[in-house]
Amino acid sequence: MRSVEYKNPEYYINRELSWLEFNDRVLDEARDKINPLLERVKFLAITSSNLDEFFMIRVASLKDQVKAGYTKADISGLTPKQQLKQISLRTHTLVEKEYNTLNRSLIPLLGKNGIRLHSSEELSEAQREFIMEYFNGTVYPVLTPMAVDSSRPFPLILSKSLNIGILLKHSDGDKGYMFATVQVPSGLPRMIELPAPEASEKNERNFVFLEEIIMMFLDKLFTGHEIICAHPYRITRNADLTIDEEEAEDLLQEIQKSLKKRNWGAGIRLEVDHLMDERLLNVLKGSLGIHKGDIYYIKGPIDLTFLMKLSSMEGYRHLKYRAYEPQYPQALADEEDIFQAIDKKDIFVHHPYDSFDTVVEFIEKASKDPDVLAIKQTLYRVSGNSPIVRALEQAAERGKQVMVLLEVKARFDEERNIQWAKRLEQAGCHVIYGLVGLKTHCKITLVVRREESGIKRYVHLGTGNYNDITATLYTDMGLFTSNEYIGADASAVFNMLSGYSEPQQWYKLEAAPVGLRKKLLALIENERQNALAGKKAVIMAKMNSLVDRELISALYGASAAGVEIKLIVRGICCLRPGVKGISENITVLSIVGRFLEHSRINYFWNDGREDVYLASADWMPRNLDARVELLFPVEDREIKEKIIGILDIELADTLKARVLEQSGKYRKIDRRGKKSLDSQMYFCKQALRGAKAEEPEADTQKFEALHIEDFETGA
C-alpha cells in the first residue's frame, strides 16, 4: 500500500471555506448575464437560503466546539476559533456581494422589465390610500407588539423570522427610551402588490415590502408614545439537533421534541438594517447574546429568500429558462410491461433529462401487479405529495408485503418524514425509522415477483432521492436491473436494515459503513500500481463533496505516481490541486447551472477494462463511516459507454464549469480557442433528439455543428 502519508495541513482546503466558495459560485449565476433575469433572481434567493442553513448547522457546530473548549485543528490546520474568524471575514464579503448584485443589477433590470419594488417614500397618493386600507383590514389584526419592561421580559424571537425593533421615548422623559418589537407576519405575502400609477405602462407591476407597510403605521400600535426609531432585524439560531438515540425509548417522539427546540437555539447571526440606530442595536446585541462579528449590516431587504416567489411569478416566460420536458427513455417506451423491459437488459436513466416517471411507474406497476409479492424501499427525502408513498400504501392495502425504511433523521425533513411514516404504518406497511447511530442514505428499491420460472427480483438503484419534485431540478442517475447477484445483494441490504442479519459477503454491491471505504481505496491503489508499472492509469470521479482525508491522501499518492485524475466536485472540495510533486496530475471542476449536479460517478481505467460505479455516497467521513450507503457497478457495455460519455461532456464544459486553483479559489474556463459548451443544455438536447451523447474528440472540430445558442440557458 502507500508508503507516504499526506498529513501536511497545507495540502488541504478547509471544509467550511470551501463551502463558502461554492455558495459564491451560486451567487455568480445570479450575476451571469447569460442567465435569464428571473433565473438570476432565483439564484440570489438560493444563495441566501444556503447561507441560512450554513449558519444554523456549520457555524453553530463550530461555536459549540469553541464553547466546549475544543481546540483540535481540522485537516487544513485551523482550530474551530480560527475557522470562525475566517468564516466571518468571508461571509461578510459574500453578503456585501449579494446586495451589490441585488441593488446595482437585478432591481434596475426588474424595473426595466416592468417589475418595480418600491420604498414607502416612492408611493403615490393612491397607492398610500390602498396601503392604509390593506394595513387596517389585513395586517393590523394579526400584529402583536411586544414591549419590554420590568414586568415584560425580552421575548423569544423565532429563528429566521423577520422583526421590527422599535425604540419609544419613555413617558417620563428622564428615563430615556423603551424597547419594543413586532414580528412581521410570515402568513402574509412579503411583497404586497400595489395598484399601478395612472401613467404607468400596461404590463407594469408594483410591489412594496410588508415590513415597510408596518413601519408606516407603527404609531397605530403605540398610540400615546413617541417613536424614536424603527428598523428591521432577523436572528439566525443554532438548529443542529442533538439526539441521544441509544437512550431514546421512542425515536419519533424524541425527534419531535427536539424539533420544537430548533427555533429557540442560541443566536448565531444577527442581520440588521445598515442604518439602525446604535442604541437599538445595543439592545438587540445584549438581549440576543450576539457578538460584534456576528452582526451583518444589510443594505436592502433583510432575508432574500423572498426572491424565490418573485422568480416564479406567472406571465414572464421570456425572463425564465426555456421550458424543458423530461423525456421517457426509449428502452422503456418500446415495451408495454416495465418488468419485461428490465428483464431483457439493464436500463439506465439520467435525470432530469430522462423522466422520473420511470421510477414512479416502476413502483406503481409493482403495487398493482398481482404477481408482485413484496416491495422494499429506502426513503430519505420525498415530496410533500409523493406518488411513490401513495403507491406503497396501495400495495400494502392490496395485501403485498411492503417494507419501507423512512429516515426520520434527514435534516430539515424530519417532520415531513415522521408524518409519512405514520401514514405508511396506518396503511399496513412495515416501517423502520432508521438505524441507531447511522443515517440510511442509500437509494434502493426491491420488487419481488412470482413468475413462471420462479421468484424473480427487480431492483432500482439510484444516486438521488425518491423525490418526484427535486428529480426535475437535480441531475441524478438510476439503474433498473434484474441481475440475480444484485437482487441477492438487495435482499441482504433489506435484511440488514430490518433485522440483525449481516451479509457474509456481497456479490456486486459495496455498502458503507462496512466495506465501501475499503473498496474505493483499493480501486485507487490499483490505478497507482498500474501507473508505477508504466501502464496507462486514469481516475475520473464526480460527487457533491470531497472531504475525506484518507481518500484525498490516496488520490495524492496516485497523482504522485502518475495517475491522471479528473474530478467534478460540485460543492466542498478539501483536496488542493496543483501542489508540486503531490497533486500536479489532478484537475478539479465544479459545475453550477440550471440543474443541481447531484449524481455520484466513479471511473477507473483498470488497465483498459474501464470500471464504472454509481453511488449514493459522497467522499466524506459521514457518508463512509456514519451512513448506510451503496456503491453499485455498471456492467452493461452500452450503459457504461454512455456514462463515460457524460463525464467527458461535463469535463469539456466551458460555460458553467469552474476550475479549482491551488489557492482554493475557482476561476472560469479560458474559452479562447474552445467551443462554447453548457453540458446541461447539451444533455437536454441529446435527450430530446433521443440520441446517445457523443464523446468530445481532442483537438478536432468536436462541437462544430453545435452553436452557442444551442447551449445557452436563456430563452
CATH code where residue 407 lies? 3.30.870.10
Sign of CA dihedral 104, 110, 113, 118: negative
Q: Which of 34-43, 236-245, 279-288, 455-464 is predicted least confidently?
A: 236-245
The pLDDT of residue 700: 30
Specify whether 167 is located in the same domain as 230: yes
User: Rounded to whole angstroms, how far apart are CA atoms 276 and 197?
Assistant: 31
pLDDT for 358-371, tens place per residue?
999 999 999 999 99
Domain containing 425: what range? 330-500
First-to-final CA distance of the chain = 53
Query: pTM score, two decimals?
Result: 0.90
- The edge-to-edge listing of strands for the beta sheet with 191-194 is 115-118, 205-209, 191-194
Sign of CA dihedral 370, 373, 378, 384: positive
Specify whether 496 is located in the same domain as 515: no
324 is a domain residue: no
Looking at the DSSP assignment, which residues form a beta bridge with residue 147? 180
User: Rounded to whole angstroms, how far apart are CA atoms 291 and 265?
Assistant: 16
User: Rounded to whole angstroms, how far apart are CA atoms 388 and 391?
Assistant: 5
User: Rounded to whole angstroms, how far apart are CA atoms 657 and 669?
Assistant: 7
Phi/psi at 642 (5° precision): -65, -45
The pLDDT of residue 707: 35
Q: What's 316's DSSP letter?
A: -
Which region, left, alpha or beta, applies to residue 541 given φ > 0 means left and ψ of -120 to 50 means alpha? Answer: beta
pLDDT band per the 50, 70, 90 thresholds, residue 224: confident
Q: Which of 104-113, 435-444, 542-551 is predicted least confidently?
A: 435-444
Specify whether 71 is located in the same domain as 143: yes
pLDDT for residue 22 is more than 60: yes
- The edge-to-edge listing of strands for the beta sheet with 146-148 is 146-148, 177-183, 162-169, 227-237, 267-273, 295-298
pLDDT band per the 50, 70, 90 thresholds, residue 710: very low
Specify whether 311 is located in the same domain as 412: no
What number is the average pLDDT over the span 180-190?
96
- How high is the mean pLDDT of the chain? 90
The pLDDT of residue 705: 33
Closest CA to 586 of 644, 642, 632, 531: 531
pLDDT for residue 309 is more than 50: yes
What number is the average pLDDT over the span 385-397?
95
In the chain, % of residues over pLDDT 90: 77
Specify whether 378 is located in the same domain as 270: no
User: Rounded to whole angstroms, how far apart are CA atoms 620 and 653?
Assistant: 25
636 is a domain residue: yes
Specify whether 258 is located in the same domain as 152: yes
From 290, 319, 348, the end of a domain falls on 319
Specify whether 342 is located in the same domain as 466: yes
Specify whether 527 is located in the same domain as 485: no
Amino acid in position 660: L
Specify whether 342 is located in the same domain as 363: yes
pLDDT for residue 698 is more than 50: no
pLDDT for 129-177, tens place per residue?
999 999 999 999 999 999 988 678 888 899 999 999 999 988 776 668 8
pLDDT for 472-505, tens place per residue?
999 999 999 999 999 999 999 999 988 877 777 8
User: Rounded to whole angstroms, how far apart are CA atoms 45 and 146?
Assistant: 30
The pLDDT of residue 259: 52
CATH number (domain holding residue 117): 3.30.1840.10
From 500, 529, 561, the end of a domain falls on 500
From 319, 340, 369, the end of a domain falls on 319
Distances (CA, A) of 616 to 375, 409, 598, 599, 630: 20, 17, 9, 8, 6
Reply yes or no: is the peptide bond before residue 301 cis, omega within 30 of 0.
Answer: no
pLDDT band per the 50, 70, 90 thresholds, residue 336: confident
User: Rounded to whole angstroms, how far apart are CA atoms 25 and 599?
Assistant: 19
Reply yes or no: is the peptide bond before residue 577 cis, omega within 30 of 0.
Answer: no
266 is a domain residue: yes
The pLDDT of residue 149: 80
Q: Which three cell numbers stand for residue 167?
A: 425604540
Give the up-direction half-sphere exposure of residue 80: CA atoms within 13 A in the CB hemisphere: 15
> Which residues make Cβ contacts (< 8 Å) with residue 411, sequence separation at least 6?
57, 241
CA-based diameter of the chain, in Å? 93
Specify whether 255 is located in the same domain as 342: no
441 is catalytic: yes
pLDDT band per the 50, 70, 90 thresholds, residue 251: low
Q: Please answer whether residues 122 and 186 qualify as being in contact, where contact means their C-beta atoms are separated by less than 8 angstroms.
A: no
Q: Which three cell numbers stand for residue 20?
A: 463558502
1 is a domain residue: no
Coil vs helix vs strand at 138: helix
Residue located via cell numbers 389584526: 141
Three state DSSP letters for 532-558: HCCCCCEEEEEECCECCHHHHHHHHHH
User: Rounded to whole angstroms, how far apart are CA atoms 528 and 103?
Assistant: 51
pLDDT for residue 409 is more than 70: no
4 is a domain residue: no
pLDDT for residue 571 is more than 60: yes
Give the up-direction half-sphere exposure of residue 4: CA atoms within 13 A in the CB hemisphere: 16
Domain count, the chain: 3
Q: Are strands 538-543 and 611-615 parallel, antiparallel or unpaired?
A: unpaired
239 is a domain residue: yes
Angle, alpha carbons 240-244-245 (nearest 5°): 110
The pLDDT of residue 712: 37
The pLDDT of residue 335: 80
The pLDDT of residue 672: 85
Among the listed residues 351, 441, 460, 598, the single catalytic one is: 441
Specify whether 109 is located in the same domain as 256: yes
The pLDDT of residue 195: 87
Q: Which three cell numbers stand for residue 48?
A: 441566501
Reply yes or no: is the peptide bond before residue 513 cis, omega within 30 of 0.
Answer: yes
The pLDDT of residue 1: 41
644 is a domain residue: yes
Specify whether 429 is located in the same domain as 451: yes
The pLDDT of residue 4: 66
Taking the CB of residue 35, how many other CB atoms lie within 10 A of it? 23
Q: Which of 498-507, 623-632, 670-679 is predicted least confidently?
A: 498-507
Closest CA to 272 of 301, 229, 242, 246: 301
2 is a domain residue: no
Give me the helices (H) in 334-437, please: 338-344, 357-368, 387-397, 414-427
